[in-house]
Every structure is written in structure tokens, then in C-alpha cells.
């Protein structure tokens, strides 16, 4: 049981890493990027290509891919997302859904249906473990978990204590008012998209290091990211981190109950949190409406 708990925490670190870019983009631009998983797989393929062609370590290859994905994020923001956002809340969802389909099919056309993995390029690290009190804990999952902590912690520090972070938070809260005080909302949105895509590159590499991927593996990654975001709350990056761990724990508990309960356990907890947020959100709106009526009538609480 303890071993299952530890493995769930390590898996939750990966889910949090996948989800942080999705949550970050929603926080800043209020866009649900349905191409998030496909972009992660795209970055995994790019890292695999560089690693295979140049004979580099995947950890070095991902550093080369980070600026590439940042440029892709900036281009997507300027050409697609910015224009789609002007068409209402539904158009960005449809646009990113179509983008995901395009990316998946282009990857399939280029690489076929065969799976790829970055673990063969790691040597012994792909299977080495630490023995702690009779428990064997893989070194690679620990690296992924620590990477998630560093990425989320770094983003949180940037948002809280840097001028760029203050501009991002102001733009996310009210882009029109931010423009009145001299903040270039369009520039900030582009930078935010670039940052989000760099986290996508890291998460795609983590997937390739932990297991295998193929051209159509983006859908499950998007689902895990979305569930972790809903469970933890999109308004907090650390909440997303906790959400990823809760999701992984639910999946592990489901697997202990039934051999086919791994995914079902996660889906069940996701639905519980989803309906709880909808229920509490509706009651909060009713309470605010009641307060406004009381004050409007001069009522006393």
C-alpha cells in the first residue's frame, strides 16, 4: 500500500507537469487549449529526432527544443489564438480542437503508427532505482517529480515577484484596464503562450522518458491534464500540482480495487470534483445575488 502511494505521488508529478501549461494558458488568456496534448507529443517527437540524429542526451535535446516551442507558441498566439479569442468563448475551443487534429495527422503521416521512446537513450537511468526502507523508487520518476516542482515553483515566483509576472496577472484580470496603464496586452499574451509551450516541451519529454508515445497519444495526455486542472483548480498552479497527485492516487486506488479500475478511479474523482465545483459555484452566485438584493433594499444582514 505504501509503495502504491509513493508511486502515485511520482505519477502525480508527471500529471502536474502536463497540466501546468494548460492551466497557465487558461489563467492568462482564458483559452482552453484542446491542442495541448498534441503539442506535447509534437515536442516529444522533436526531442526524439534531435536525440537520434545528433546522438545527444534527451536532457540536452530538450534544452534545444525549448526555444523552438516558445517560437511555436508565439506564432500560434499571433496567428490563431488571438484572432479566435475575438470570436467569443466557443471559437478558441473549436479552433484548438481542429489544430489538434491537424497536428495528430501530420505526425502520423511523418512518423507512422510505430511508437517511440526516449528511454533507450538514457542508459541505466531508465531502470535504476533507490532502495529506501525496503522500497524501490525509480530515479527517473523522482527526476520528473522534481522537475514539476521546479517548473511550477518557478512560474509561481515569476508571477508573484517579477515585473513580467505583474503584467501577466494584470492582463489576465482585465486586459483593457491593463492597456490603460501602459501594459501591452498583446505582447504579454504572446510571452505567456511562449512560456506555456516551453512547459509543454518539458512535459512531452517527460512522457517520452517515462514510456512510449505515438502520433495519436495527445488525446490521453490532454485528458489527464484537464482532469488534474479541474481537480486542483485552474486558478492556482500549486493547486494543479495537488490535483495531479490526487488524480494519480485515485487511479492507483482504482487499480487496487479492480484490475481495470486505473482509469475509472481517476475519472470518478474528476467527476466528483467537477460536480462539486459546479454546485458550489452556483450556490456562491445565488448568495452574491441575495447579498446584492439586500444591500439594494437597504436590508440589514
pLDDT digits (tens, 9 = 90+) for 127-163: 887 777 777 788 899 999 999 999 999 999 998 889 8
Position 199 pLDDT exceeds 80: yes
pLDDT number for residue 26: 87
Q: DSSP characters for 118-156?
A: SGGGSGGGGT-EEEETTEEEEHHHHHHHHHHHHHHHHHH
> Confidence class of residue 285 from pLDDT cuts 50, 70 and 90?
very low
Bridge partners of 130, per DSSP, are 137
Q: What is the pLDDT of residues 250-272, one digit of tens each?
A: 998 888 888 778 888 889 999 99
Q: What is the pLDDT of residues 86-124, one digit of tens each?
A: 877 788 889 999 999 999 999 999 999 899 999 999 888
Bridge partners of 116, per DSSP, are 213
pLDDT number for residue 286: 52
Q: What is the pLDDT of residues 15-64, one digit of tens each?
A: 999 999 999 888 887 888 999 999 999 999 999 999 999 989 999 999 99
> Confidence class of residue 288 from pLDDT cuts 50, 70 and 90?
very low
Handedness of CA 276, 14, 69, 99 (dihedral sign): negative
Can you give the pTM of this predicted structure?
0.88
Average pLDDT, the chain: 86
> Confidence class of residue 1 from pLDDT cuts 50, 70 and 90?
low
Rounded Cα gap, residues 176 and 129, in angstroms: 52
Rounded Cα gap, residues 84 and 75, in angstroms: 13
Rounded Cα gap, residues 118 and 100, in angstroms: 23
Report which of 199, 160, 170 is spatially closest to residue 66, judged by C-alpha positions.
199
Radius of gyration of the chain (CA): 21
CB atoms within 10 A of CB 140: 18
- Which DSSP category does 113 fall into? S
Angle at alpha carbon of residue 45, lines to 231 and 203, rounded to 5°: 25
Reported in sequence order, the residue ranges of 108-250 that DSSP labels E, i.e. its strands, are 129-132, 135-138
pLDDT number for residue 235: 79
Position 297 pLDDT exceeds 80: no
Q: Residue 158: which H helix or E strand, with range? A: helix 139-161
pLDDT number for residue 37: 94
Just give the CATH number of 2-262: 1.10.3470
Amino acid at each position: 500500500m505504501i509503495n502504491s502511494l509513493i508511486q502515485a505521488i511520482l505519477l502525480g508529478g508527471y500529471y502536474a507537469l502536463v497540466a501546468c501549461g494548460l492551466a497557465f494558458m487558461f489563467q492568462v488568456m482564458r483559452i482552453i487549449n484542446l491542442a495541448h496534448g498534441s503539442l506535447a507529443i509534437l515536442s516529444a517527437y522533436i526531442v526524439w529526432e534531435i536525440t537520434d540524429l545528433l546522438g545527444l542526451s534527451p536532457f540536452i535535446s530538450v534544452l534545444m527544443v525549448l526555444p523552438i516551442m516558445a517560437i511555436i507558441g508565439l506564432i500560434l498566439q499571433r496567428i490563431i489564438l488571438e484572432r479566435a479569442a475575438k470570436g467569443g468563448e466557443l471559437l478558441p475551443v473549436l479552433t484548438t480542437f481542429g489544430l489538434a487534429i491537424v497536428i495528430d495527422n501530420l505526425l502520423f503521416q511523418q512518423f507512422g503508427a510505430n511508437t517511440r521512446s526516449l528511454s533507450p537513450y538514457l542508459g541505466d537511468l531508465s531502470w535504476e532505482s533507490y532502495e529506501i526502507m525496503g522500497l524501490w523508487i525509480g530515479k527517473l520518476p523522482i527526476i520528473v517529480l522534481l522537475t514539476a516542482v521546479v517548473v511550477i515553483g518557478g512560474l509561481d515566483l515569476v508571477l508573484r515577484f517579477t515585473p513580467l509576472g505583474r503584467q501577466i496577472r494584470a492582463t489576465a484580470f482585465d486586459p483593457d484596464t491593463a492597456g490603460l496603464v501602459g501594459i501591452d496586452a498583446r505582447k504579454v499574451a504572446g510571452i505567456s503562450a511562449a512560456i506555456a509551450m516551453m512547459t509543454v516541451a518539458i512535459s512531452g519529454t517527460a512522457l517520452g522518458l517515462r514510456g512510449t508515445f505515438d502520433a495519436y497519444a495527445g488525446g490521453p495526455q490532454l485528458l489527464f491534464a484537464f482532469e488534474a486542472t479541474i481537480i486542483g483548480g485552474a486558478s492556482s498552479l500549486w493547486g494543479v500540482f495537488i490535483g495531479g497527485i490526487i488524480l494519480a492516487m485515485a487511479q492507483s486506488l482504482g487499480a487496487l480495487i479492480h484490475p481495470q479500475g486505473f482509469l475509472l478511479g481517476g475519472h470518478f474523482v474528476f467527476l466528483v470534483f467537477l460536480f462539486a465545483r459546479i454546485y458550489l459555484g452556483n450556490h456562491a452566485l445565488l448568495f452574491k445575488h441575495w447579498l446584492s438584493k439586500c444591500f439594494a433594499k437597504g436590508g440589514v444582514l
